[in-house]
Structure 1
């Protein structure tokens, strides 16, 4: 009987191993660091990122240090990216070459003032400096130009190859880069650009596309939004989110999740209230929008919430385990009955 239970345990472990071995997660070793060499025109000497008071049409060289603590030479991709705002309401420096917000003067686009992304080789267990030239705009500008120097290790071809599905956690360092030609305060503003249905990772949302058209960082952003059937107070969806931030001259789609509800075609009204800078600024929007039959049908078909495909393999594994357990119980009861008869 002990052998039977041991065999059962091995079978269950093997089946679970097959089921969960469909993907491999690899954690990249954080074997490098990046720091900034402070410039003479640094506004706040206590912070570790570039916070510069620049003079019109006076370029300057800026330097970062990449320390490679690995036992082999590595390559690092260095890109200087304009700041944007992601769908979580967080300032994002991760992407280069994103389309400009319409409120941003192309001459004040940070990515046009610095070199294109490049690759830097750093020998094993050593530190290397990378210096880039900043072309300051020819004319004085209000507010801030915001971006970041992003450094990420370039993965070797051998590391990219793996059996089955592989997820590699990659890390990057970002050193902020903020430029001002004066320190006059610029108040934030908000505009509602558009409202439409959208899908992310198989889940449906109503997106309210919000814009900060001013060259200033919007802090402490809180949003309360609801979606009603047009012409009624019938609330279909609602959400509240606090402690968000928006980059200067940027926009993002604020998502209102459907929480698994089928998104039906029809006419709706978005009502959205936003506050920033600890409630100092307030904006109220009311906007009608529609979801067409075509949009609703497409979103419904591809939504994981409303049409989850059954996992047949998982059910097969569960069925086999149940059968094995039942067989063991039958054998055990049969052996016990035989022993009782012999007494």
Structure 2
């Protein structure tokens, strides 16, 4: 039963991710990718890799790429670690991701695949991925994906922004495990700070899954309190979020078209993965300068709520700076003039002395 639940959980996470990867018109996809399941596949009823691996061994897996078109196409490939993006979705589309501090190793560190594959017209090609399993054994799961993206055609590049919808990708998920030992998620709150997301003021909280366990149904409730107020000024509640093993993401509280107000705040957060509750409380200070800077460039604030750029202060700084520069120039000019006069007097005395007739 536990094994079936794991398969179902991973399938849900993978389908959500692949759905995001297939961007554009489905009828125009020029290639497909299919996993060729090896003998150590834990279930033959699924279409992704769910492999029981052995510490210190090398695992090779194969993917069949198919080009059904009348044109040769180029496919870029990468072995990517699964991350949790800031929407609370497991994502396989990023190649260069920062390794989470809780991860001993990641999928991208142990897996390699050809970076560029040429598919002739009306053809199939088997692509091999090599996975070097670390010598030290592990419990739980390592999650990644083999990501395939069609190279953009020259004519598409010339079309500019209109060509974005014609780029397609496939993900074949890879789930690695060595034991049946159950590992439960362990969440931690790393950081709380103010920022802007897509030009909108927000407070973000970095939540980390420190264990090699997947989270299928994460609920997060976050509230932002101003000074000693008992009612939250802003809050956000979300359900059905997902997290990959040993990853972190930024959960946000949107200020809903409101400006930052300087002062001291308290952030209270509750999280639940269906088995365990976590609660955190953090203090947050928004400084006047910081609030003005963010409010001035926020794209969603009404004009009367935007804090104007402090031109008076800027003008004063410029005037003072110019005054200092001019003062320095004046000082050195006066010093040079005095030195010239002194040298001139010295010269006149010497000249008189030389011109004086001898008796």
Normalising by structure 1, we get a TM-score of: 0.78
Task: For residue 116 of structure 1, report the CA deviation from its aligned partner.
Answer: 5.8
Look up the match of 2:233: 236
Aligned to 2:337: none
Residue 165 of structure 2 is aligned to residue 195 of structure 1 = no
User: Does 2:255 match 1:264?
Assistant: no
Task: Show structure 2 runs of 5+ residues with no match.
Answer: 1-23, 305-359
Aligned-partner SS, 2:143:
strand
Following the alignment from structure 2 to structure 1, what is the Cα–Cα distance between the partners of residues 31 and 293?
Answer: 45
* 1:300 alignment partner in structure 2: 295
Kept in 2, the 8 Å contact 1:223–1:275? The answer is yes
Match of 2:173 in 1: 176
Shift of 1:267: 1.2
Rounded Cα–Cα distance in structure 2 between residues aligned with 1:152 and 1:168: 13
- What is the 5 A alignment of 1:208-287? 208-276=205-273, 279-287=274-282
C-alpha contact 1:80 1:117 (8 A) present in aligned 2: no
Q: Does 1:101 align with 2:100?
A: yes
Detail structure 1 runs of 4+ shifted over 3 Å in the superposition. none
Pair 1:61 & 2:60 matched: yes
- CA distance in 2 between counterparts of 1:119 and 1:308 reads 50
Q: Name which one, 1 or 2, has greater alpha-carbon Rg.
A: 2
Deviation for aligned residue 1:162: 2.4
Q: 1:141-166: CA deviations, max 9, x gaps? A: 11111100111101023311126x53
3-state SS of the aligned residue for 2:182? coil
* Contact 1:27 1:168 (8 Å CA) reproduced: no
CA displacement 1:52-104 (0-9 Å, x = unmatched): 00011110211001111222000001111001000110101110121111111
Q: Quick check: 1:76 aligned with 2:75?
A: yes
- Once residues 61 and 163 of structure 2 are traced to their aligned partners in structure 1, the CA distance between those partners, rounded to angstroms, is 35
1:134: which partner in 2? 131
Root mean square deviation of aligned Cα: 1.9
- The CA deviation at 1:225 is 1.1
Pick one of 283, 307, 322 that aligns with 1:288: 283
Counterpart in the other structure of 1:3: none
C-alpha offsets along residues 272-324 of structure 1, whole Å, 9 cap, x if unaligned?
Answer: 11111xx3111111111112223212221221111579xxxxxxxxxxxxxxx
Aligned to 2:202: 205
Choose between structure 1 and 2: higher strand proportion: 1
Which TM-score applies when normalising by structure 2? 0.75
Question: Hey, what's the Cα distance between the residues in 2 that align with 1:230 and 1:40?
Answer: 61
- Select 1:120's aligned residue among 117, 121, 136: 117
Find the counterpart in structure 1 of residue 309 from structure 2: none
What does residue 88 of structure 1 align with? 87
Give distance in 2, aligned partners of 1:81 and 1:61: 16
Give the whole-Å Cα distance in 2 for the aligned partners of 1:135 and 1:226.
44
CA apart distance, 1:36: 0.2
